[in-house]
Structure 1
């Protein structure tokens, strides 16, 4: 009598006998799926924590507005209508920022080239002087790190143009003392006034979350000579087998 035995050949082969390229492909595929899931979770959290809460607030105001109309309190109704209009405008602005963060793709396969393209486009649209200095040298970044840094840089530059009303923006990429740093500075109206203009700003929270996922820190601080500085610092890990994956 013949017995059919189902054996997973890969499970009995020694590590040396397995195809290293297949193992590497599986690892890359698993990493891609994990990163996509992280992005989805970040998007879900941001929608829940910002947009959903704002919509709940609008619904509460709508109930109050109906009550004011029923009582014939036109003054109260007018004030509530204005509040609702302002809140809805804030929700729209927040959604646009979230969509920008999660939709825009790098126009080049590497960080430096993608930033050069994005900065050139922003120069044309804004007619603002944007200076880009790349001092990364031989520093190696993974594709995931490059994508996250690109999104942070683009948001920081856009904020400088949109909220700070800057006419000069500087972007610096540099590796020093065991870390990689991205710095975006502007000569705009300054941090406090910009914060007033961007109340309810959702983009900053996403930038901070991206920095956290990179194992780094993000600081938004006033420049000594005026304006604002956004500074991202991430660890610069030594290459593994000659290359970071």
Structure 2
């Protein structure tokens, strides 16, 4: 039932009710009901019809209005995201391209020091450019509705990753939606996405798994892959911008983040415990 039909019914139902009542009263009930009693019964009848029918129509109208407001808000947000994405493309992305062109000029020199500098700068420019392009792509996609189940968002992220990389992703998610605040959902989603991108670029893995489970006082997320692993401390590598951002995000939210190698598997662990989060919050307040 559309908005126009609801308004028509609201206008005509009381009128039709009075008309039907007057017709029945004069044709069939006049010997039994006096004119005075009939006049008293008419508004009562209209009131009862209004309670049973019109209230439902008013409720339906409010639902349609709320739906319209949500659609308008979503459209506004999407337009703003498109504007931001366009500004990123016209500003930062093009500046990075120009930077890459200038860096390529260093390659023409025979100086070994310049050659090493070129390799480092080129890699850095490519990584930053890729992050910016990912941000532009994400901004140009419609934002996920808050009413969607959180696990559906993770499943959608995994499917996109599989389509882009050809790598399989297994999901075992047991964290309830209500156990995560809206901010935690946004930040955790970004961390999982960055973890998957890191695997795609560096791990050369065939099977990847994302697990979310409850632990006493919080939850834990594990991103596991069977790739070639790592040497040293990747979180300390200067060119690993994604891992550094993830680590800073985890510290800001009071989460624990650890990257380890166990057997033939690399495990990225993001963990929240209430005692750790409280201590981190207290330390940040003292600072």
TM-score tier by shorter-chain length is: 0.5 to 0.7
* TM-score normalised by length of structure 2: 0.50
Structure 2 residue 282 is matched with structure 1 residue 230: no
Structure 2 residue 113 is matched with structure 1 residue 80: yes
Cross-structure match for 1:50: none
User: Separation in 1 of the partners of 2:165 and 2:120?
Assistant: 27
The answer as to whether partners of 2:213 and 2:220 remain within 8 angstroms in 1 is yes
Cross-structure match for 1:158: 197
User: Separation in 1 of the partners of 2:273 and 2:213?
Assistant: 12
Larger Rg: 2
Task: Specify the SS of the correspondent of 2:210.
Answer: strand
Structure 2 residue 240 is matched with structure 1 residue 207: no
Give 2:184's match in structure 1, choosing from 145, 154, 164. Answer: 145
Deviations 1:80-107 (A, max 9, x none): 3422321221221341355367653664
User: Separation in 2 of the partners of 1:129 and 1:194?
Assistant: 26
Cross-structure match for 2:219: 180
Mark the CA change 1:179 to 1:101 in structure 2 (over 3 Å): closer, same or farther.
farther
The answer as to whether partners of 1:191 and 1:227 remain within 8 angstroms in 2 is no
Task: Specify the SS of the correspondent of 1:131.
Answer: strand
Structure 1 position 172, deviation (Å): 0.5
Structure 1 position 227, deviation (Å): 2.5
User: Separation in 2 of the partners of 1:143 and 1:100?
Assistant: 25
User: Separation in 1 of the partners of 2:171 and 2:219?
Assistant: 16
Task: Specify the SS of the correspondent of 2:163.
Answer: helix
Q: Where in structure 2 are the equivalents of 1:23-102 lying within 5 Å? A: 77-96=110-129, 98-99=131-132
5+ residue gaps, structure 2: 1-98, 276-287
Which of 1 and 2 has higher RCO (CA within 8 Å, sep 6+)?
1
Which one has a larger percent helix, Structure 1 or Structure 2?
2
Mark the CA change 1:148 to 1:124 in structure 2 (over 3 Å): closer, same or farther.
same
User: Separation in 2 of the partners of 1:155 and 1:100?
Assistant: 13
User: Separation in 2 of the partners of 1:161 and 1:91?
Assistant: 17
Structure 1 position 188, deviation (Å): 0.3
Cross-structure match for 1:19: none
The answer as to whether partners of 2:216 and 2:273 remain within 8 angstroms in 1 is no
Give 2:168's match in structure 1, choosing from 122, 129, 133. Answer: 129
Mark the CA change 1:205 to 1:161 in structure 2 (over 3 Å): closer, same or farther.
same
Deviations 1:110-132 (A, max 9, x none): 54222111110111121111001
The answer as to whether partners of 1:163 and 1:194 remain within 8 angstroms in 2 is no
The answer as to whether partners of 2:209 and 2:224 remain within 8 angstroms in 1 is yes
The answer as to whether partners of 1:133 and 1:172 remain within 8 angstroms in 2 is yes
Structure 1 position 182, deviation (Å): 1.0
Deviations 1:1-39 (A, max 9, x none): xxxxxxxxxxxxxxxxxxxxxxxxxxxxxxxxxxxxxxx
* TM-score normalised by length of structure 1: 0.58
Mark the CA change 1:221 to 1:227 in structure 2 (over 3 Å): closer, same or farther.
same
